[in-house]
């Protein structure tokens, strides 16, 4: 097609390209929130672009809503099959880390719903509940559009979102958000203690009921079950730190929160996110599955 812009593109194509550049983060963002996987979200984003490029969008009043809905429909299909894959996953499953700082390769609409703790909460929702909650509460879509996507009535879609909202709110009550300053303080002190192999220092930073979860996916050595108890977690960390001594440990923003990125032998070895309660680390989540670190 040719147009009057001298580039060989029509005005419609130029308009779509401009709209796509503006709304692509939302497309990726809805897919990542629904799937917890950067790789799958990138695949969905590419699928949406290919469909948009072939579609007649002249009668589409809200391009963002159209793109987000198409992305959610594709992600919903993947989400339903992902439930089966989760059952055969080796060891604990954690969301794939998403860099969200200024140097992030993938721009995304950042809020608490891309944090590892929130994604784990949403993992407990049914696929329809998760879709309804994300599309309405995060992206502001109407229940009529959500109902059509899920093949339910609008009141049913509203009920799904309401039920999900209650479950999310209840889960969040037990995990209050630490301030950015407190998170930086705790992680900075933790990093120093870890690098020094300071067992007592780590114990002081860990909540007595702390839980340590590692996701190796069967492709890296990792505990198949969570390690519980502050002292036990500290002992395991000191032992692992001596065995797999990192070249360096960086502070980086992951999922909108400050986290630790461990480097070893010229590559990212792990990405670690934490839950902080009362100034102490109550949950420590380490992703070492190399498939989940390829894009960090």
Would you give the DSSP letter of residue 221? Answer: -
pLDDT digits (tens, 9 = 90+) for 261-283: 999 999 999 999 999 999 999 99
- Would you put residue 91 in left (φ > 0), alpha (ψ -120 to 50) or beta? left
The two tokens of residue 261 are: 């990125």
Encode burial over 186-201: b for 16+ CB neighbours within 10 A, e otherwise: bbeebbebbeeebeeb
- With cut-offs at 50, 70 and 90, classify the pLDDT of residue 3: very low
pLDDT at residue 15, rounded to an integer:
84
Q: Is the pLDDT of residue 87 over 80?
A: no
* SS3 (DSSP) at 286: strand
pLDDT digits (tens, 9 = 90+) for 31-63: 999 999 999 999 999 999 999 999 988 888 899
Mean pLDDT, to the nearest integer, of 83-99?
85
* C-alpha–C-alpha distance, residues 45 and 29, integer Å: 9
Q: Is the pLDDT of residue 2 over 80?
A: no
Q: Which residue has the tokens 């692509």?
A: 24
pLDDT at residue 84, rounded to an integer:
65
* SS3 (DSSP) at 139: coil
Q: Is the pLDDT of residue 107 over 70?
A: no
Computed over every residue of the chain, the mean pLDDT equals 91
Q: Is the pLDDT of residue 222 over 90?
A: no
* C-alpha–C-alpha distance, residues 2 and 26, integer Å: 29
State in Å, rounded, how far the first CA of the chain is from the last one.
38
Q: Output helix, strand, coil percentages for the chain, rounded to the nearest 5.
A: 55, 15, 30
Q: Is the pLDDT of residue 79 over 60?
A: yes
Strand order, beta sheet including 227-228: 227-228, 206-215, 280-287, 267-277, 257-264, 248-254
Reported residue count of the chain is 296
pLDDT at residue 105, rounded to an integer:
66
pLDDT at residue 96, rounded to an integer:
94
């Amino acid at each position: 097609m040719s147009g009057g812009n001298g580039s060989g593109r029509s005005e419609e194509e130029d308009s779509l390209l401009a709209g796509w550049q503006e709304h692509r983060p939302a497309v990726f963002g809805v897919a990542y929130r629904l799937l917890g996987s950067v790789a799958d979200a990138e695949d969905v984003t590419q699928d949406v672009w290919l469909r948009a490029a072939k579609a007649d969008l002249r009668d589409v009043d809200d391009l963002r809503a159209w793109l987000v809905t198409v992305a959610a429909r594709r992600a919903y299909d993947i989400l339903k099959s992902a439930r089966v894959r989760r059952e055969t996953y080796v060891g604990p499953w954690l969301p794939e880390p998403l860099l969200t700082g200024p140097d992030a390769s993938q721009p995304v609409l950042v809020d608490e719903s891309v944090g590892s703790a929130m994604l784990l909460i949403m993992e407990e929702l049914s696929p329809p509940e998760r879709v309804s909650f994300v599309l309405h509460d995060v992206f502001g879509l109407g229940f009529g559009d959500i109902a059509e996507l899920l093949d339910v009535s609008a009141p049913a879609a509203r009920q799904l979102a309401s039920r999900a909202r209650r479950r999310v709110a209840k889960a969040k009550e037990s995990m209050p958000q630490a301030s950015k300053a407190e998170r930086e303080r705790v992680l900075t002190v933790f990093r120093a203690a870890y690098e020094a192999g300071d067992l007592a220092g780590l114990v002081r930073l860990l909540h007595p009921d702390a839980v340590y979860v590692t996701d190796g996916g069967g492709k890296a050595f990792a505990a198949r079950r969570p390690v519980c108890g502050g002292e036990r977690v500290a002992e395991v960390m000191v032992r692992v730190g001596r065995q797999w001594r990192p070249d360096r440990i960086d502070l980086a923003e992951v999922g909108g929160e400050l986290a630790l990125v461990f480097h070893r032998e010229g590559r990212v070895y792990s990405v670690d996110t934490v839950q902080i309660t009362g100034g102490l680390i109550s949950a420590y989540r380490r992703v070492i599955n190399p498939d989940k670190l390829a894009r960090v």
